[in-house]
Amino acid sequence: MPVDVPVHGDGQDGGPTVLSRRRFMQGVGVSGVSIASGALSGTVSAETAAPATREPAASRSGNAGYPLTLTINGTTQQLVVQANEILLDTLREKVHLTGTKKGCDHGQCGACTILVNGVSVNACLSLSIMHDRDDITTVEGLSRDGKLHPVQQAFWDHDAYQCGYCTAGQMMSAVGILQDRRIPSDNASVQEAMSGNICRCGAYKNIVSAIQDARGKVRGNV
């Protein structure tokens, strides 16, 4: 049974006019068709236009990114990065330093470890734009004048790698902890400090031996 809806002020005597539910819904349907027709014909006003059709602010301003200055392995680099660009991608894709590996991309494996101002950092968790004017060292910057860094030499001497995928991150973390005087020199403390670096080949014993062998030869090298 149709339900009558009173509409005030429309009656000839000033009283309410009774409008059936069916007539009310028909009126709403006609209004909707009119709006849709206006949108198709391009007559819809700016106030009723969908926000998604508006041009993004970035494209109107022509802003293609943000300028960034980094000192990477002793060389100053002038770059342009996106607001959400991670440091790992900047190093690999824009500076072409592919020694820093992309592993889990969640900061859990340590393959992307680098040094930022002498401190080990997971490059996959750090935005590039946060490091303007920072000093960055990657595995490519460890050797000097054709001579291996003490940690690199120790890894070679102790066979502290197998497949080699994690090795760059392991070396960078090792350099970081050997330069940090707050970390004790016993094996247990070294293992704890290196716990953020995963070796799927299981070369942990050799890695610790390599780090201990390089101890005392690292400070001031990087």
Domains observed in the chain? 4-53 (no CATH), 64-138 (3.10.20.30), 142-222 (1.10.150.120)
pLDDT computed for residue 27 by the predictor? 54
> For 146, what's the count of Cα atoms within 13 Å in the CB-facing half-sphere?
0
Average pLDDT of the segment spanning 180-191:
95
Question: Residue 106: phi, psi to the nearest 5?
Answer: -130, 10
**What does pTM read for this prediction?**
0.70
Cross-strand pairs, 69? 78
Instruction: Output the pLDDT for position 64.
Output: 82
Cα–Cα distance for residue pair 102/182, rounded to 1 Å:
29
pLDDT tens by residue, 89-139: 999 999 999 999 999 989 999 999 999 999 999 999 999 999 999 999 999
| Mean pLDDT rounded to a whole number for the chain | 81
pLDDT tens string 68-78: 999 999 999 99
Q: CA-to-CA distance for 153 and 214, rounded, in angstroms?
A: 8
Residue 215 or 29, more confident: 215
- Name the DSSP class of 93: I
Contacts 24+ apart (CB under 8 A), 132-137: 132/68, 132/69, 132/70, 133/69, 133/70, 133/71, 134/70, 134/71, 135/71, 136/70, 136/71, 136/72, 136/73, 136/87, 136/91, 137/72, 137/73, 137/172, 137/175, 137/222
Structure confidence at residue 23 as a pLDDT band (50, 70, 90): low
Is 70 exceeded by the pLDDT of residue 207? yes
Residues 6+ apart with CB under 8 A from 87: 114, 121, 123, 124, 126, 127, 128, 131, 136
Q: How far is CA 81 from the centre of its chain?
A: 12
Cα dist from 101 to 32, 41, 92, whole Å: 56, 54, 8
First-to-last C-alpha distance (Å) of the chain: 87
Q: Please tell me the distance from the alpha carbon of residue 69 to that of residue 181, in angstroms, as a whole number.
A: 29
